[in-house]
């Protein structure tokens, strides 16, 4: 099995700019995703994110050494934000709201970066810098759309399961079962390996489509 960095580095049309862009946007997007959870938790009355020292832009705090190592080896990573739902003003609704905040950040990032890509495409001059900038920016909306979709899947430990549990008593009881928690990890792996390529492809089409629309309406 080859190393993802070398694969992308040597791939025509991608190269070192894509590798740098992937590393930059993965780390930034996950960090901001977790901070979204933290801000929402604080708004709900829980100071755990502050007391635990997680309200920081330091990716090592949010992702941890093992996640960053996994990213270096296979190109994927994850993060975590400690919260205490028992401190929320509304226990169940608050949990759903805090869980939704992370994917909402990814949606916001996808829109902002796809719009920025549209500007870059429209005002680009065809130079190497312009092409490299477009490639660098194109990673961000695609990645954040993937993170958005993936995190909304209602499988534990993803945000989607906590959102659904927060709005449905029956779902909450279902997700509390230990066997469901264990099955969730297996289901997540199956989803990633069976549908990952398709999700990335659709996310790329959507983000580039948005950028093209923005580019077409600019003066």
Residues in the chain: 219
Residues 6+ apart with CB under 8 A from 88: 41, 44, 45, 46, 94, 95, 98
* Whole-angstrom distance, CA of residue 22 vs CA of residue 18: 6
Tokens of 149: 């979709």
In angstroms, the first-to-last Cα distance of the chain is: 47
Phi, psi of 51 (to 5 degrees): -65, -30
34 an active-site residue?
yes
Determine which one of 34, 47, 176, 179 is catalytic: 34
Is the Cβ–Cβ distance between 99 and 164 less than 8 Å? no
Q: How far is CA 29 from the centre of its chain?
A: 6
Alpha-helical segments (H) within the chain: 4-10, 15-43, 48-51, 59-74, 91-123, 128-152, 159-167, 169-175, 178-217
Is the Cβ–Cβ distance between 184 and 117 less than 8 Å? no
List, by residue number, the catalytic residues.
Answer: 34
């Amino acid at each position: 099995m080859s190393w993802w960095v070398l694969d992308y580095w040597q791939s025509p049309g991608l190269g070192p700019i894509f590798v740098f862009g992937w590393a930059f946007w993965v780390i930034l997007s996950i960090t901001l995703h977790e901070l979204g959870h933290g801000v929402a938790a604080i708004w709900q009355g829980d100071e755990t994110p502050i007391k635990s020292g997680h309200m920081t832009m330091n990716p090592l705090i949010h992702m941890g050494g093992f996640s960053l190592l996994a990213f270096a080896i296979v190109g994927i990573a994850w993060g975590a934000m400690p919260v205490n739902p028992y401190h929320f003003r509304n226990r169940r609704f608050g949990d759903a709201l805090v869980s939704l905040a992370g994917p909402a950040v990814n949606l916001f990032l996808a829109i902002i970066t796809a719009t920025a890509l549209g500007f870059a495409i429209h005002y680009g001059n065809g130079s190497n810098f312009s092409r490299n900038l477009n490639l660098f920016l194109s990673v961000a909306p695609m990645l954040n759309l993937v993170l958005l979709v993936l995190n909304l899947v209602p499988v534990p430990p993803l945000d989607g399961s906590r959102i659904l549990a927060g709005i449905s008593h029956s779902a909450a009881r279902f997700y509390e079962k230990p066997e469901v928690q264990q099955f969730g990890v297996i289901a997540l792996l199956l989803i990633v390996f069976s549908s990952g390529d398709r999700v990335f492809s659709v996310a790329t089409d959507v983000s580039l489509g948005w950028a093209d629309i923005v580019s077409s309406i600019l003066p």
